Structure 1
Amino acid sequence: MNDLAGARHADARGGPRWRTRALVLAVLLAVPWGVTGLVWKREHDRASVQERIALAHGLALHAAELRDTAPAMARNLGLAAVEIHSDEQTRAGLIDTLVGMHSDVLSPDASGEVVLSDDGRIALAGGDELGVWDLTTWLEPKIVDKADRIAVLKDRREGLSMTALSGDGRTVLTGGGVGDTVVWDLTDPAKPIRVAALVGGKNAEDANSVRAMALSRDGRTAAIADLGGDLIMWNLTDRSHPARLSVAKLRSSSVVRDLRLSADGGIAVISYDGLFNNGAVAIWDLSDPSRPVKSADLGLPAGKYARATVMDADGHVILVGNAHRAEIWNLDDRSHPVRTAALDVPFTDLYGMAVTSDGKTALLAGPSDSAILWNLSDPYKPARLAALKGYTREINSVALGADGEVALAAGPGGTYLWDLRGLAEVVADPERAACRDNPGTEISKADWARYTGGADWSDYKGEDLSDALAVCAIRRGSL
């Protein structure tokens, strides 16, 4: 009896301790399994994320390849890429595709340059023969039959062809390496009138050898730079009787490359090619056009020269471009220009630049099949907006409407037009813009297999049992 009672007493005392030890042991054994499970889940989630990213980037690449031949499929694949994994690469690809879907071929004929009126309605494009275009029908999506050019300026001369168009679209200058600069009245764009000619500089051997030209917005002030390095200012208030205002010497041992005027004609930006690549960009004060005064030189790096320049309407923002780079300059103080930022561009050279009147949007192009739009709202932090793709060959010249709603690009492949009126919404939210305009966008099962390499689309369809993937309803998952 005593032995049995003692055993029971021992069990009573040892039971809880035994249970505690067993519980601790179970916990100790479970912890490694739990940690292992957490590690496995973390690695599984990480692998899933990487698979989604790889799939999204692959779809974005396919979309880029299809922009020219199958734009609708490019949009669908680009949208799917952003829905699956939204990052800088997939968003930029979708933006470029959506912008490209609002482009058209204005003319298939080779063009050396293109210019545009401020309102984006009148365009001039061509080479030895300069066509006049009214873009009204081109900017109305409901009009299927777009208007052809409405006139031709046939008085082009042999040599380097150049064109300047006033902001109001009523006055045109045409000229070249040899011959007078011709003044045209474009009040009726369908019936251009040759009204006068501007004779060259004061040096007989350089007379009529025009290197660059520009017009003020109202067409009343013209600036001509000739081969001899003279800047000739003209008053075109009476276009039939132009009055020469002044002739100023620009820069010795240099050849003018580009000439730009502010809207009021009070500021000129002139770039030069110099000996041994010792180029320069100069700011000229033309507030008194009868007495032009150079106010400053931009401090370009040694051995660099400007391939292209452009200025906003008020003369406060200047872009200077050369190989792989474009610099933004602030000209609030004309005597002390300040470099605010640089744009790294994917071109070996810059052939054309344009900027909106407010200086907040710029278009840059070089020897490639696309031009790049930049947001310059913060001149210290420029941001890429979109690439205007779809052009067939290198771009020689670009133009922007004053408000940035129309863009043109010209070169050996012809002249292209982009309608940019929805650009702000597309850049802000490309997914929303694509789904708003195309709510029923789908990718068939066959196309999904083709462009994803056979990826299981059940991860992205959710409960949808149809044979097509509704792109705007792709299940994002937990990333």
Structure 2
Amino acid sequence: MRKPDADEELPSTTKVSYGRWRRLGPMLVAGVVLLALLIGIGVPISLRAHTVSEARAIALDGIKQRGSDWYAADLLGYVAVLSHSDSYTRSALAETLTEERRGFLPGTATVIDVAMSSDGRLALVSDAQEGSGLWGLERNPEADRENLTGSRSTILDRGYGPVALSSDGRIAVIGDETSGDIKMWDLSEDDNPRRTVVRTGNYTGRLLDISLSADGMTLFAGFESGSVEIWSLGAGQKPRLLTRVREHTSGVSVVSASADGRKLLTISEDSAIVWSLNGPLHPALSSRVKSAEQRPAVSGWGGGVMSADGRRAIIGRTVWDVTDPARPTRVGSLPSPAEGGAPLAVAGDGSIVATVENEPGGVSSLDPVVIWGLKDPSHPILLATLRVPESQSRQLAMNEGGTVIAVGTRVGGAYSWLLPKLRANFIRDACVASQPLRPPPGFWERISEIQPPDVLNEEPFNICSRL
């Protein structure tokens, strides 16, 4: 069709048609472009949905491999996350990794307390049914799991109560929670533990908690009466009571000392006290934090711990810098409030803490242990969630590096976890700690019906770098 000249007279019908074209033409062009865009967008959307479906199917294949082939379970989990990272694939992989790293301490049943050496190779467990004894925690080189195998080396005492272990595992202290008796064992000779009675009698009430300096030479004990005792356990000498103080008006449920024994955190229901112990004969009350001032809606607290370096204290759910014990500074708090008195454990430098959490809408007896990163205490990072299969967690212990956790339960015994060096991403940290190998030809086809992903053929083969 010839385009008319600008000054040419058009027939009336042509004028109408051409006018409509000028008005509708851009709209039609826009419609065509929009339709093309929708068609173009529709294809990636359908492909993406297909990828999500495949990723979740791979994650499910990984779940099925748990307990029978941990290498396959890990590989499938990593590939699922790389194919499509969402809450389903990441939680499936995280649960696989934590379950793989869980070990059991056979011969434990109803755990009252647990302590651990700084290297995480020795655990002291107090059990209401089995008594109090030592368990070695070691890797099994013949197993394909990334966990520790617990083996009981000896039962030290048929009684039970709060326990403490020196940093090197050579001094063990066991208290009787009912009578207040405290006994000490020198474990320097593996086949000949030497027992010494530290104190007898319940003249200050029920024993609630104990703590040791790293060298095992100073013992701290908290009692139901509100009193705190400090004992000297000098090598080759008879234990000696250095002092007894009473600044709490209710039972001292937490006694946590720094490694050098120069700072002490004590917690009762109504308050937390930071002590300076430059002279253990005359401990100085450096500062007091009252629970009512921090949580007005709660009548008290019971949980807490001090880091071995003496710089950080966790009181209830709040994180404090206690470098200067006379001027503690609140530097953060843990989210997801737990019940009062919930157990805590902390790494030596205070950068990692383990807590028992209340899981909303869940069964209280299955509340998990949560590992938090506190490098920036004002913004805690949830690093890992650990679950025990039987019952509610009761007590926690952590080695100095934050890589070994021991958890005592009410009816399921004691468990351990071998964790990677945690930074900010548990899945990647676990991958780096045990880099998966490339599967042999035909292996993928035996564990999954999904087409093998391209990542398995990449050079160099390094799944971890992409997480």
Band of TM-score, shorter chain = 0.7 to 0.9
Q: TM-score, normalised to structure 2's length?
A: 0.78
**Deviation of 1:390 (Å):** 4.6
AA aligned to 1:332 is T
Q: Aligned with 2:304: secondary structure?
A: strand
**Hey, what's the Cα distance between the residues in 2 that align with 1:443 and 1:370?**
33
Q: Aligned with 2:253: secondary structure?
A: strand
Partner residue of 2:227?
230
**Deviation of 1:209 (Å):** 2.9
Q: Aligned with 1:148: secondary structure?
A: strand
AA aligned to 1:211 is L
**Hey, what's the Cα distance between the residues in 2 that align with 1:140 and 1:73?**
19
CA distance 1:117–1:446, shift in 2 (3 Å): closer
**Deviation of 1:167 (Å):** 1.5
Q: Aligned with 2:163: secondary structure?
A: strand
Q: How does 1:2-41 map to 2 (within 5 A)?
A: 29-41=28-40
Partner residue of 2:281?
290
| Counterpart pick for 2:330 among 323, 339, 358 | 339
Asked whether the 8 Å contact 1:328–1:379 carries over to 2, the reply is yes
**Deviation of 1:66 (Å):** 7.3
CA RMSD of aligned residues (A): 3.8
AA aligned to 2:97 is L
**Hey, what's the Cα distance between the residues in 2 that align with 1:122 and 1:446?**
37
Asked whether the 8 Å contact 1:99–1:423 carries over to 2, the reply is no
**Deviation of 1:384 (Å):** 1.2
CA distance 1:290–1:424, shift in 2 (3 Å): same
**What 5-or-longer segments of structure 1 have no aligned partner?**
1-7, 274-278, 449-456, 462-468
**Hey, what's the Cα distance between the residues in 1 that align with 2:231 and 2:117?**
20
Q: Aligned with 1:260: secondary structure?
A: strand
**Deviation of 1:192 (Å):** 2.0
2:308 corresponds to 1:313: yes
**Hey, what's the Cα distance between the residues in 2 that align with 1:423 and 1:295?**
33
AA aligned to 1:121 is R
**Hey, what's the Cα distance between the residues in 1 that align with 2:200 and 2:132?**
21
Asked whether the 8 Å contact 1:272–1:306 carries over to 2, the reply is yes
- CA deviations on 1:342-390 (whole Å, 9 max, x unpaired) are 2224855663211111111111125535311111111222111112235
**Hey, what's the Cα distance between the residues in 2 that align with 1:239 and 1:229?**
31
**Deviation of 1:82 (Å):** 0.7
AA aligned to 1:376 is L
Partner residue of 1:440?
439
How many residue pairs get aligned? The number is 425
Asked whether the 8 Å contact 1:113–1:126 carries over to 2, the reply is yes
**Hey, what's the Cα distance between the residues in 1 that align with 2:88 and 2:331?**
27
Q: Aligned with 2:320: secondary structure?
A: strand
Asked whether the 8 Å contact 2:331–2:377 carries over to 1, the reply is yes
2:113 corresponds to 1:132: no
**Hey, what's the Cα distance between the residues in 1 that align with 2:429 and 2:286?**
44
Asked whether the 8 Å contact 1:180–1:208 carries over to 2, the reply is no
Asked whether the 8 Å contact 2:370–2:385 carries over to 1, the reply is yes
| Counterpart pick for 2:369 among 368, 371, 388 | 371
The farther-off stretch of 422-431 and 389-398 is 422-431
Partner residue of 1:329?
320
CA distance 1:433–1:284, shift in 2 (3 Å): closer
**Hey, what's the Cα distance between the residues in 1 that align with 2:108 and 2:217?**
31
**What 5-or-longer segments of structure 2 have no aligned partner?**
9-13, 358-364, 459-467
Partner residue of 2:239?
242
Asked whether the 8 Å contact 2:404–2:419 carries over to 1, the reply is yes
**Hey, what's the Cα distance between the residues in 1 that align with 2:158 and 2:228?**
24
Which has the larger Rg?
1
Partner residue of 1:352?
343
AA aligned to 1:419 is L
**Hey, what's the Cα distance between the residues in 2 that align with 1:250 and 1:396?**
27
Q: Aligned with 1:410: secondary structure?
A: strand
**Deviation of 1:112 (Å):** 2.1
Q: How does 1:60-139 map to 2 (within 5 A)?
A: 74-87=73-86, 90-110=89-109, 111-128=111-128, 129-135=131-137, 138-139=138-139
**Deviation of 1:335 (Å):** 2.0
- CA deviations on 1:179-234 (whole Å, 9 max, x unpaired) are 4211221222443211232246xxxx734632221111111111122232221111
**Hey, what's the Cα distance between the residues in 2 that align with 1:54 and 1:218?**
56
- CA deviations on 1:263-296 (whole Å, 9 max, x unpaired) are 11111111112xxxxx221212222111122121
CA distance 1:146–1:316, shift in 2 (3 Å): closer
**Hey, what's the Cα distance between the residues in 2 that align with 1:435 and 1:121?**
20
AA aligned to 1:250 is E
**Hey, what's the Cα distance between the residues in 2 that align with 1:430 and 1:289?**
42
- CA deviations on 1:291-343 (whole Å, 9 max, x unpaired) are 1221212253122433321111121111123xxxx221111221222222222
Q: How does 1:425-464 map to 2 (within 5 A)?
A: 427=426, 429=428, 433=432, 436-440=435-439, 444=445, 448=449, 461=451
2:251 corresponds to 1:255: yes
2:395 corresponds to 1:397: yes
- CA deviations on 1:121-156 (whole Å, 9 max, x unpaired) are 221113141121222xx2353479967311111252
Partner residue of 2:157?
154
**Hey, what's the Cα distance between the residues in 2 that align with 1:66 and 1:40?**
40
**Hey, what's the Cα distance between the residues in 2 that align with 1:215 and 1:393?**
29
CA distance 1:65–1:29, shift in 2 (3 Å): same
Q: TM-score, normalised to structure 1's length?
A: 0.76
**Hey, what's the Cα distance between the residues in 1 that align with 2:433 and 2:32?**
47
Asked whether the 8 Å contact 2:373–2:424 carries over to 1, the reply is no
Q: Aligned with 1:437: secondary structure?
A: coil
**Hey, what's the Cα distance between the residues in 1 that align with 2:392 and 2:427?**
29
CA distance 1:133–1:84, shift in 2 (3 Å): same
**Hey, what's the Cα distance between the residues in 2 that align with 1:74 and 1:30?**
53
Q: Aligned with 1:130: secondary structure?
A: strand
AA aligned to 2:312 is V
